[in-house]
Structure 1
Amino acid sequence: MKLYSYWRSSAAYRVRIALNLKQLSFETIPVHLLKDGGQQHSSAYQALNPAELVPTLVDEQGSLSQSLAIIEYLDETYPEPRLLPQEPFARAKVRALALDIACDLHPLNNLRVLQYLTGELALDEAQKLRWIQHWLTLGFNALEQKLQHTAGQYCYADEVSLADLCLVPQVYNALRFNVDLKSYPLIRQINHNCLQLAAFALAAPEQQPDAQL
Structure 2
Amino acid sequence: MAEAAAPAGETPAAEAKLGLYSYWRSSCSHRVRIALNLKGLEYEYKAVNLLKGEHSDPEFIKVNPMKFVPALVDGDAVIGDSYAIALYLEDKYPERALLPQDLKMKALNLQIASIVCSGIQPLHNLTVLRFIEQKVGTGESIPWTQQQIDRGFTAAENLVKSCAGKYATGDEVRLADVFLAPQIYAAVTRFQINMSNYPSLARLHEEYMKHPAFQAALPDRQPDAPSST
Bin of the TM-score, shorter chain as denominator length: over 0.9
1:32 to 49, 65, 89: 49
Shift of 1:205: 0.1
DSSP 3-state at the match of 1:200: helix
C-alpha deviations, 1:103-159, integer Å up to 9, x for none? 11111111111121123x14212x111111111112112211111122111111111
Q: Equivalent residue for 1:87?
A: 102
1:130 to 134, 143, 154: 143
Q: Equivalent residue for 1:191?
A: 205
Equivalenced residue count is 209
Q: Which runs of 4+ in 1 moved over 4 A?
A: none
Q: Please tell me the residue identity of whatever aligns with 2:106.
A: R
Shift of 1:80: 2.1
Q: Is the 8 A contact 2:185 2:205 kept in 1?
A: no
Structure 2 residues without counterparts, runs of 5 or longer: 1-17
Q: Does 1:15 align with 2:32?
A: yes
Distance in 2 between the 1:39 and 1:10 partners?
17
1:49 to 49, 52, 64: 64
Moved more, 196-205 or 71-80: 71-80
Q: Please tell me the residue identity of whatever aligns with 2:129.
A: L
Q: Does 1:169 align with 2:186?
A: no
C-alpha deviations, 1:160-192, integer Å up to 9, x for none? 111101111101111111111111110011111
Distance in 2 between the 1:28 and 1:71 partners?
17
Distance in 1 between the 2:160 and 2:37 partners?
25
Distance in 1 between the 2:79 and 2:156 partners?
28
Distance in 1 between the 2:88 and 2:77 partners?
12
Shift of 1:46: 1.0
Shift of 1:72: 1.1
2:84 to 69, 77, 84: 69
Q: Does 1:146 align with 2:159?
A: yes
C-alpha deviations, 1:46-69, integer Å up to 9, x for none? 121010000000011321111011
Structure 1 residues without counterparts, runs of 5 or longer: none
**TM-score (structure 2 length as normaliser):** 0.88
Distance in 2 between the 1:4 and 1:115 partners?
23
C-alpha deviations, 1:9-32, integer Å up to 9, x for none? 011000000111111110110000
Shift of 1:42: 1.2
Q: Give the RMSD, CA atoms, in angstroms.
A: 1.1
Q: Does 1:160 align with 2:173?
A: yes
DSSP 3-state at the match of 2:197: coil
Distance in 2 between the 1:160 and 1:132 partners?
27
2:220 to 202, 206, 211: 206
Structure holding more helix per residue: 1
Matches within 5 A, 1:98-117: 98-117=113-132
